[in-house]
């Protein structure tokens, strides 16, 4: 099968099309003929050698797939060859065939394409897990999302609007994306290059602060995130683009009863990811089927242009997902 192979670790130029054996599904696994996959920030980190796959998983890049069931491993009864599916993989998405655990797959609604389906599993499940299941975001609360043009945060805005009747959404974004983020449903958009986001959050909330913050920056935002958190607020850290080590104000954390929570979806146990996927199917997939939630796609590139897509992601000029078309449709 054709797959993206890394010629060492480094920039997008280390990526190229090569040939690999077609993988065989193990117990509880499904082999998917991949029609489309998409690029996630974690893929760029792995390409640089800083985010290896969990033990036993494919070292091919790619954390989500959309395609057709091709073969079943022992014990799989929920799927049949030919089923249209999308789902999480711990690696292997940038290839013509990929293995997924049966419980990590979802039926693709007839209302969406393979390219749209490829833009759903990683970012929408990440946003759903961290905002609602871990962050506990509820009615009447205020959420702060960092990096409004990225896939997780555009998904987060849509999820908050679909799942909650009353929720105030604050988003940080670069100046070129402010209007688009506002149009997507944000109540307040902060240009992080021009404004102090912690001060702006306090002004917007009349000093109350944000109940939940979803952050992929890490250390560089830690102090401001603490300052922006409400009493009893929850900071969920899902990335480290701004560093892994920062100074935590324990006194402020105690006085304001703040919770600082780290979260990584990829490394969760198989059974736990299956439970999360099942909850997502129940609570979110109907909104996707009705297209109340519609994945935002910045561009669709052929698999051979994966390097170009990585360069686009690292330049941060995209709004929504960068999708890779693997098979002609």
Going from N- to C-terminal start, the domains of the chain cover 2-120+266-325, 124-262
pLDDT digit string, tens, across residues 20-50: 999 999 999 999 999 999 999 999 999 999 9
The pLDDT score that the predictor gives to residue 328 is 60
* Secondary structure letter of residue 235 according to DSSP: E
Q: How large is the average pLDDT for residues 53-59? A: 93
Q: Tell me the C-alpha distance between 58 and 46, whole Å.
A: 12
Residues 6+ apart with CB under 8 A from 115: 36, 66, 297, 300, 323, 325
Nearest by Cα to 117 from 288, 312, 277, 307: 288
Query: Distance between the two ends of the chain, CA-based, in angstroms?
Result: 17
Residue 174 has pLDDT above 90, yes or no: no
| pLDDT, averaged across the chain | 95
**Structurally, what CATH architecture does the domain formed by 2-120+266-325 represent?**
Alpha-Beta Complex (3.90)
* CB neighbourhood size of 272 (10 A): 11
* CB neighbourhood size of 243 (10 A): 12
Least confident of 90-94, 121-125, 204-208, 325-329: 325-329
Q: Which CATH superfamily is domain 124-262 in?
A: NAD(P)-binding Rossmann-like Domain (3.40.50.720)
Percent of the chain whose predicted confidence (pLDDT) is above 90 = 90
Q: Tell me the C-alpha distance between 72 and 28, whole Å.
A: 8
Q: How large is the average pLDDT for residues 247-251? A: 95
Q: How confident is the model at residue 4 (pLDDT cuts 50, 70, 90)?
A: very high
The pLDDT score that the predictor gives to residue 244 is 87
pLDDT digit string, tens, across residues 204-233: 999 999 999 999 999 999 999 999 999 999
pTM of the model: 0.95
For residue 211, the SS3 value is strand
Q: How confident is the model at residue 329 (pLDDT cuts 50, 70, 90)?
A: low
More confident residue, 175 or 22: 22
């Amino acid at each position: 099968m054709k797959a993206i192979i890394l010629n060492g670790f480094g920039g997008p130029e280390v990526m190229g099309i090569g040939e690999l054996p077609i993988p065989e599904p193990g117990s509880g696994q499904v082999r998917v003929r991949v029609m489309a996959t998409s690029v996630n920030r974690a893929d760029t980190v792995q390409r640089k050698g800083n985010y290896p796959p969990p033990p036993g998983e494919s070292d091919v890049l790619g954390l989500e797939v959309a395609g057709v069931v091709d073969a079943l491993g022992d014990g799989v009864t929920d799927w049949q060859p030919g089923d249209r599916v999308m789902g999480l993989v711990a690696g292997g998405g940038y290839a013509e065939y990929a293995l997924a655990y049966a419980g990590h797959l979802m039926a693709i609604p007839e209302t969406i394409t393979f390219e749209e389906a490829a833009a759903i599993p990683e970012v929408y499940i990440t946003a759903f897990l961290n905002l609602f299941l871990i962050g506990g975001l509820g009615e009447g609360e205020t959420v702060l999302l960092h990096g409004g043009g990225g896939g997780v945060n555009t998904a987060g805005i849509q999820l908050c609007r679909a799942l909650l009747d009353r929720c105030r959404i604050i988003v940080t974004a670069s100046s070129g994306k402010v209007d688009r983020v506002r149009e997507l449903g944000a109540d307040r958009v902060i240009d992080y290059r021009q404004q102090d986001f912690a001060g702006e959050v306090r002004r917007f909330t009349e000093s109350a602060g944000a109940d939940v913050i979803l952050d992929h920056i890490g250390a560089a935002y830690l102090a401001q995130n603490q300052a922006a958190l409400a009493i009893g607020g929850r900071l969920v850290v899902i990335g480290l683009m701004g560093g892994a080590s920062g100074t935590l104000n324990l006194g402020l954390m105690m006085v304001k009863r703040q919770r600082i929570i780290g979260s990584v979806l990829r490394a969760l146990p198989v059974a736990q990811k299956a439970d999360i996927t099942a909850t997502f199917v129940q609570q979110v997939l109907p909104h996707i089927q009705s297209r109340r939630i519609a994945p935002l796609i910045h561009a669709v590139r052929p698999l051979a242009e994966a390097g170009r897509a990585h360069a686009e992601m690292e330049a941060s000029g995209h709004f929504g997902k960068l999708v890779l078309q693997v098979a002609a449709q």
